[in-house]
Amino acid sequence: MSDLTEIWAVAIGSGLAVGVLGLLAGWTLRQRSLHWLLAVVGAVTTLTVLVAVQVISRRMLISDHDRSVVLIVTSAAAGVSLVVALVLSTALVRWSRALREDVRRVGAGETVVAAGRGPAEFRELSEELAAAHQRLADAREREHRLEESRRELVSWVSHDLRTPLAGIRVMAEALEDSIATDPARYHRQIRGEVDRMVQMVDDLFELSRIHAGQLVVEPQPIVVGDLVSEAIAAADPVARARRITLGGEVPHGLQVAADPAGLSRVLANLIVNGIRHTPADGTVHVTARPVDGGVELSVTDGCAGIPDEARERLFDVGYRGTSARTPDDPLQDVHTSRAGLGLAIVKGIVEAHHGRVAVENVGTTSAPAAGCRFRVLLPASA
């Protein structure tokens, strides 16, 4: 056997012997702190070198003095390596405990900030925890808003149903007792109240279908100009009663693939909403234009602007932007009383078409917030 072969055999044998002992020690300490496992790795590395050097030096018949020198040098190197391993393992344990504390904060709903400490993997994990915390915070905020919207919806609907029912009961009793001075007018009022409640129930049913994911859209090519014309014509009597100018502008031949009934309802709700919140002698304008990847519909009114906190909740179920229980609009009827459901239905129908709906304030040089614009973006194919 050559000298090099013998050296290789001694080195590999020493390494295997120390490695087996290290694996046994690691298995024994497998449930202990990461600090001890990393210390075992450092000890195995240093002991492998130390044992191999000592065995080989004895096989080479080196003098006791030279062997002592080799032992001192390798022991010093082994000691330094072990100290470095212990320091690094302590730092890794500290970083892992910091991550464990971040995980606890995520579970407790406390604020978590991404920390730029430790190796790249630890920093990435810290950033992911901070992002997960933000997503959870957003989800909790959405859940809180939805719960608040449900409570408001129950409150509004119960009021909006109770009021007409009370009026119908009074008028029915007057007709039964033959004390109604104008029975025909009472019949018309009862019919109007019934129609308004039917519309409200239809809105609730439509909203329940949207939330249950049962709203099925059947896209087909639609001429946008015809759709806008029909929506304006349907809302024109309400606009005239409010002394509001209602108009529109659509490029000739513009088409979009959408569900006709659903898109008609979107336009009707947005137009009526604009009429309702525009003061007398104001203007509600409907436009459409092609954009990259689809068509944009917009309804601009003269509502004098919407506060930022209200814009964030405008499409929530049951949100009306006012705490008043009795509408202050004397022209409330079947077309304008929506119990805060109209815009929520708009959002549901648009999202069913894989589109987006948004609202923004618009103004002039004299009035920074003269009105608001609802923008509906529909893709080229739903």
- What secondary structure does DSSP assign to 341-381, as a single string? -HHHHHHHHHHHTT-EEEEEEE--SS-TTSEEEEEEEEES-
pLDDT at residue 381, rounded to an integer: 63
Q: How many CB atoms lie within 10 A of CB 310?
A: 14
Of the residues 198, 214, 230, the one at which a domain ends: 214
Per the structure, the complete domain to which residue 308 belongs is given by: 218-324+337-381
Q: How many domains does the chain fold into?
A: 3
Q: Are residues 264 and 371 in the same domain?
A: yes
User: Which CATH number covers residue 205?
Assistant: 1.10.287.130
Burial profile 246-271: b = 16 or more Cβ within 10 angstroms, e = fewer: bebebeeebebbbbbebbbbbbbbbb
pLDDT at residue 288, rounded to an integer: 93
Read off the pTM: 0.56
Residue 115 counted as domain residue: no
**How many H helices and E strands in the chain?**
9, 7
Q: Are residues 91 and 228 in the same domain?
A: no
Q: Are residues 362 and 227 in the same domain?
A: yes
Alpha carbons 362 and 21: distance in angstroms, whole number: 76
pLDDT at residue 51, rounded to an integer: 78
Amino acid at 366: S
Q: Are residues 244 and 343 in the same domain?
A: yes
Which phi and psi angles does 60 have, rounded to 5°?
Answer: -90, 5
Q: Are residues 194 and 228 in the same domain?
A: no
Q: Decide if 89 contacts 59 (C-beta within 8 A).
A: no
Of the residues 144, 179, 214, the one at which a domain ends: 214
Q: Are residues 275 and 374 in the same domain?
A: yes
Q: Are residues 231 and 352 in the same domain?
A: yes
Give me 168's structure tokens.
């119908």
Of the residues 110, 145, 162, the one at which a domain ends: 110
What's the average pLDDT block by block, 10 residues per block, for the chain (382 residues)? Answer: 72 80 80 75 78 74 70 76 78 77 73 70 77 80 76 72 84 87 88 84 80 80 92 91 91 90 91 90 92 90 83 73 42 45 87 90 65 90 58
Q: Are residues 68 and 83 in the same domain?
A: yes
Residue 242 counted as domain residue: yes
